[in-house]
Amino acid sequence: MSTSDAVVVDVLIVGAGPTGLFAAYYAGFRGLTVAVVDALPEPGGQINAMYPEKHIFDVAGFPSVRGRDLVDRLLEQAAPFGPVYLLGHRAEVLERQPGRFAVTTHRGARIEARSVVITGGIGHFTPRPLPAAAEFEGNGLAYFVRNLDDYAGADVVIVGGGDSAFDWAHALHPLAKSVTLVHRRETFRAHPATVAAVQATDVGVLTNAQVTKVLGNGAIEGVEISSGDDVKSVPCQKIIAALGFTANLGPLLDWGIDVENRRHIPVSAAMQTSVPGIFAAGDINDYPGKVRLIAVGFGEAATAVNNAAHHLDPAQPVFPGHSTDAPVPAAVIQEDSRAVRHR
């Protein structure tokens, strides 16, 4: 791809999770042009990939918000500023040029930006497989629940003992015909309150047990669950393998940025990495006292973008003032006008 074909912006955001989407809004608010690149085919990062139906309770202003709805609101918030989204593009090669950076994706797209904000969360993640059910992947076997209604009226087996396994068991038991949770140990990693809530329902919880065989020809009809020498068959049409995932930063490790333990990027109080002009926010960064919450990521995104704006133009203050003190951006006025016309 030639330079003339490149997307040219002020800020490139690497990662389209909640922190990245809020950074896209805030960069637009600061009058900067923005591109957002993410290896996943849809925005939302881990939320949309892993728990779009799960309710989140620690986002300011929302007593409870479904993951999918939070992503939709973040996209709506950024929309008036017209960020360019390159989804299904893994950021691979970083070139440092005078006054700018160039990033090429694995699909050959090229983005030239005067600054970069990395909001890649835990990096690229891959679900841990359930070997006994591998042949049914995409045909009854799932690693993440995207739509609760897909499980209505079905016999569901959930494998795992962590938060995701118990969250899905609790969410699905009112909809499914039956829910059976299978865990290879006696104890659980999930939050005790969630475990207690599930145990108070009619969900079958089998411990010291494993799914050793899946029954069915083309479609899942049941599973065999082994516990020591005991083997039992359980009717099942849907399996959720909530066995966790492996994650790594992939190509970001070759960008010449300081990285700790191949997982986290150290940053200053300005959210700047070891490379001037490259910032990091959200779960991917690290500093003393770091707390990995979505709410914290939002604040870090604003800090990173404000310092990026100052880096691009030192005459601009790091803190632009409160949004309530600023004139309403023209893009927001136009968006509001369109909304009124469509009522």
- List the binding residues: 19, 38, 46, 51, 91, 125, 283, 324
Q: Give the separation between CA 312 and CA 318, rounded to whole angstroms.
A: 11
* 252: nearest Cα among 274, 228, 229: 274
Q: Give the separation between CA 82 and CA 13, rounded to whole angstroms.
A: 14
Our CA angle for 330, 333, 334, nearest 5°, is 85
Q: Give the separation between CA 25 and CA 41, rounded to whole angstroms.
A: 20
Kindly compute the dihedral angle of the four CA atoms of residues 253, 254, 255, 261, in this order, to the nearest 10 degrees. 30
* Residues of the binding site for FAD: 19, 38, 46, 51, 91, 125, 283, 324
Q: Give the separation between CA 16 and CA 23, rounded to whole angstroms.
A: 9
Task: Count CB atoms within 10 A of the CB of residue 43.
Answer: 24
Is there a contact between 242 and 143 (Cβ–Cβ < 8 Å)? yes
